[in-house]
Structure 1
Amino acid sequence: MGLLDGKTILVTGVLTEGSIAFHAARLAQEQGARVVLTSFGRQLRLTEVIARRLPDTAPVVRLDVTSAEDLAALAGAVAEHADRLDGVVHSVGFAPQAVLGGRFLEGAWPDVATALEVSAYSLKALAVAARPLMPRGSSVVGLTFDASVAWPVYDWMGVAKAALESTSRYLARDLGPDGIRCNLVAAGPIRSTAAKAIPGFEAIEGGWDRRAPLGWDVADADPTARAVVALLSDWFPATTGAIVHVDGGAHAMGL
């Protein structure tokens, strides 16, 4: 039996085969889940192509997490493919180039607001939109990058991740009475499309393998995906508001 037998999981953020979201969707299917993907705009066609590279082709529903109309329609769109959602994977993040790459002090509010809305507020928006389909025992899992410190070049995306981590804790508080868990996985640096969009990302990933007692492979998203699937499963029934670090142990080491 698989960890997710009989469950339906909604996965956001699948754009390439190298993304954490793709690996989570693939592993979820391998563990018995039915998977539904989301995408929008020009990315929709790309996600549909990538969906065919999963073990089982997954349906794709439209969702722009900044669109009130898309969020309101999400439950209905998912209901065309499944009668409930046992889990939701939030793998959404974006910050304009103007607030990354050493431009922290120059960051203007409109660009910062975009980073916060897409990367942090969207966790709450997605959870609320999916809530009508989520029974007791369901799980929301998001992806973060350790926001307890200031990273080179990460700048306002780091602030957005801090907001994401706080948002997850408040969701855990308010969704808990419904039996819905909310947790985050803090991954080490992965050379995903999102990471490549950060100017100077090498300053973050450089030396990570040496600092991590278990070592770290920036090209391997599978360990992170395994943690996501584990948190979606019934094996963490009393865990919520937590951050699980999947970074080779680097977060626990001094410089």
Structure 2
Amino acid sequence: MSGILDGKRLLITGVITEQSLGFGVAKYAQEQGAEVVLTGFGRLSLVERIAKKLPTPAPVIELDVTDAEHLDRLADEVRKHVDGIDGVLHSIAYAPPSALGGNFLNTPWEDVATAVQVSAFSYKSLATAALPLMGNGGSIVGLTFDASQAWPVYDWMGVAKAALESANRYLARDFGPKGIRVNLVSAGPQRTMAAKSIPGFEAFEEAWTKRAPLGWSLTDSEPVAKAVAALLSDLFPATSGEILHVDGGFHAVGVERTEK
């Protein structure tokens, strides 16, 4: 039985643990026929260990998206494993502690700059570094968290996500003539390592499980993985600059529904 990603070669970032959305995407992508290369940073041995838990153990390349040398050599490092790629997943975000948790008015610029560089500017950095591998055509997908409104405790990460969503539109504009689609998946909250580092993130979890019309699992990454896989496949040949919500419908409703 063929999969929607048969023959696709994918570069997937952001895998740290089995709970990482990147891991869920890598696993589902392999099940759908893709060949996967992972990137890791800082805890490379951990990423390599997690990579062995995929259906097919995947190679891991070191990549710090804020390091120009890492970005410059990305294409050469990837070519050690595959001769090109058809898709990229950007699953990278970070904000210093001072930029989260209700400290919005007091966060120093240096920490705001870090959040924006790692969480938003890196989308462009990764896309341009991967471009020599993609030829004419392919798909780039990033992960966001709805930046259309202000959230408790999310603070400057929310601002960084807004920048990411804007960058998505500009990348779609500039990569379109190359035949490359650029889209985001806006995922509901998951109990990932990144989420656990945000003080007060439990408020998101409680609200989502109560209000999402379709319900929402905090531990099941497969709905997000399926959406990412669809965008990385050939099923959306004329879709770019889009933000696809995979959040149980939470973004579409206002106050919590009361049953009669």
TM-score (norm 1): 0.98
Task: Deviation per CA, 1:147-184: give whole Å up to 9, x if none.
Answer: 00000000000000000000011000000000001000
Match of 2:180 in 1: 180
Distance in 2 (CA, whole Å) between partners of 1:124 and 1:81 is 23
- In the alignment, the residues of structure 2 paired with residue 174 and residue 223 of structure 1 have an alpha-carbon distance, to the nearest angstrom, of 29
Identity percentage of aligned residues: 65
How far apart are 1:135 and its partner, in Å? 2.6
Aligned residue for 2:25? 24
Determine the structure 2 residue equivalent to 1:222: 222
SS of 1:105 mapped into structure 2: helix
Query: Number of matched residues?
Result: 254
Q: Which runs of 4+ in 1 moved over 2 A?
A: none
1:29-66 CA-partner distances (Å, limit 9, x unpaired): 0000100000123x111000000000000000110000
User: What amino acid is the match of 2:5?
Assistant: L
Alpha-carbon distance, 1:67 to partner: 0.2
Conserved in 2, the CA contact under 8 Å of 1:138 and 1:180? Answer: yes
- How far apart, CA to CA, are the structure 2 residues paired with 1:99 and 1:61? 29
After TM superposition, the score normalised by the length of structure 2 is: 0.97
Alignment match, 1:117: 117
Letter in 2 for 1:141: V
Letter of the structure 1 residue corresponding to residue 200 of structure 2: G
Residue deviations 1:160-211 (CA, integer Å, cap 9, x gap): 0000000011000000000001000000111111000000001222121221
Unpaired stretches in structure 1, ≥5 consecutive residues: none
Shift of 1:14: 0.3
1:245 maps to: 245
Q: Which amino acid aligns with 1:202?
A: E
- The answer to whether structure 1 residue 10 and structure 2 residue 11 are counterparts is yes
Matched residue SS, 1:207: helix
Quote the residue 1:133 is aligned against: 133
Give the Cα separation in 2 of the matches to 1:144 and 1:115: 14
* Aligned position for 2:107: 107
Do 1:137 and 1:234's aligned partners in 2 also have CA atoms closer than 8 Å?
Answer: no
Structure 1 contact 3–233 (Cα < 8 Å) conserved? yes
Gaps of 5+ in 2: 256-260
2:97 is equivalent to residue 85 of structure 1: no
| SS of 1:95 mapped into structure 2 | coil
1:136 Cα deviation after fit: 2.7
